[in-house]
Structure 1
C-alpha cells in the first residue's frame, strides 16, 4: 500500500504506482491493467477521483518526469541485488531506495547541495573507513571474469550448505578455475567478506563531438568490510550488457575511501555538459 510522510517529503511507492503517477502527471491515459495500482493511490489520498495528483507530489513528480541527470545504482550482496538511484531536476533532487524483499521503494526529496553525500550514503561510504586507510598500502588483484564467477558460484553453494567452510570452498573453486595461489588466497578473502559490489551510472542528455545524445559515466567498486574498498578497474565502465565474457580481464585495486568520494564527485556532470530540454506537460 502506498504511503507518505509529510514531515520529510518522502513516499513509499511500488513501480506500477510510480508509472500511474507519471502517466497522470504528463496527461497520458492509464492502461486498464494499472487500475489496481491507481485504486491504491486513490485510497492513500495521493490522487483524487478525477485523477489529479495531490499537491504533496508535485515536486517529486516534476523531477521524476523531467530529470536533467539520472543516477542509477545496482548493489549486489548476500541478500540479492538492490536498485537505488537519484534524479536531479531543475529545482529538486529525488533519491529512491529499495529494501531487500520489498516491492516498494522510498522516494524522498534531498537538498541539492548534498548530492554527493547522498550518493555516498547509498553505498554506505564513510569519509574514513578503518579498512580503507591509505596506510594499508596499494594492492591489486587480477584474474579473469570466468575465475571470479567460479568463486562467486562456490560462495553461493557454500551459503546454502549448512556447516560449509565458505573460504575453503571459494579458494578451491578459484584454483580449479586457473587462479594462481596468491590470487586465489586474496580474492577468496574479498569474495567471502564483500558487503556489496556495486555499480553506479550517471546519464544525461548531452553531446559528443557536437552530436546530441545520451552521455554517461560510471564507476564500480567492492566494499569488502575489514578488507577495505576496492575499485573495479576491469571490466571498464560504462559497460554494455553482455560486454564481458569469461575470458575478459578482471581487476580490483584497493583504494582509500577518499578515492571513492572523488569518483562519486567526478561521476556527475557540470552545467555545461547538460543539454537543456523543454519540460513536458506539468502535473
Structure 2
C-alpha cells in the first residue's frame, strides 16, 4: 500500500482514502503531500463531521465581510489557505450535498466563490478526502453511445469497457481510464488492464455487465426497491458461487471485504460463516 501511495503522490489528481476509523487515513494524506512536488506548500486538514452545513461551507470556501451576522471581516477558507499545497478533508461522506456540489466545481475547474461573494477565485489545491462509509453508486440505467473507442486499448480492455454499465456516466469513464493508465500504462504498448474498482488488487478481474436492456423490468416500478432486490440477489449469488467464502464473494462483486460485510448487515443476509 505504501508503494502505491508513493506512486500516487506524484500526481495532481484528487485521492479518496477509504478505511475504518483509526486506520491512519490522515497519515496516508500526509504522506501523499510530503512525497509530492507540493511538499513545500501548506498541508491543511478539516474534519467535515465536526461542523454543520453553514459552518462547513464558510470554513471551506471562506466568506466576505457582511456575508452574515457577525461576519465583520473577510475570512479565507481552507481552500485558499491550502493554495499551492494539499487540502485533506476527513469524513467527506458526512458533508451535506450542497457542500459536495460546491466541492465538485472546485475539483473540476479549480474555481470557488466565498460565501457572500460573487468574484470567482482560482485556487491550485491537491484534494485528498477520506471516509469510513461505503459510497453508493448513483445510477443503474444502461445506456450505450454509438461512438468508436479511441486507439491504445487491447481487445481485452475494450471488452471490459464495453461490458461495464457506467453508472457514474462520463465522469466515471474518465476516472477509470486515468486510473488504469497511471497504474498499468506502458509507453508504446496498448493498455490491457482496466481498473474499474480502485480497491481491486488485480487488473485482470473480468467485469460482468451490470444490466442488460432486454432484462429491464417494465415501468412503472419502485426503483429503489428494485435496486435493493437486485443488489441482494447478486450478493446471495456471489456467496453461493464462492461457497460462502466472503472474501471470494467480495472479489466476485468488485467490492472490498468490509464493503461486503456492510451489505450483508444491511440486507440481513446469512453469511454462512461461523
TM range (shorter): under 0.3
Structure having greater relative contact order (Cα 8 Å, sep ≥ 6): 1
More strand by share: 1
Task: Give TM-score, length-normalised by structure 1.
Answer: 0.27
Task: Give TM-score, length-normalised by structure 2.
Answer: 0.27
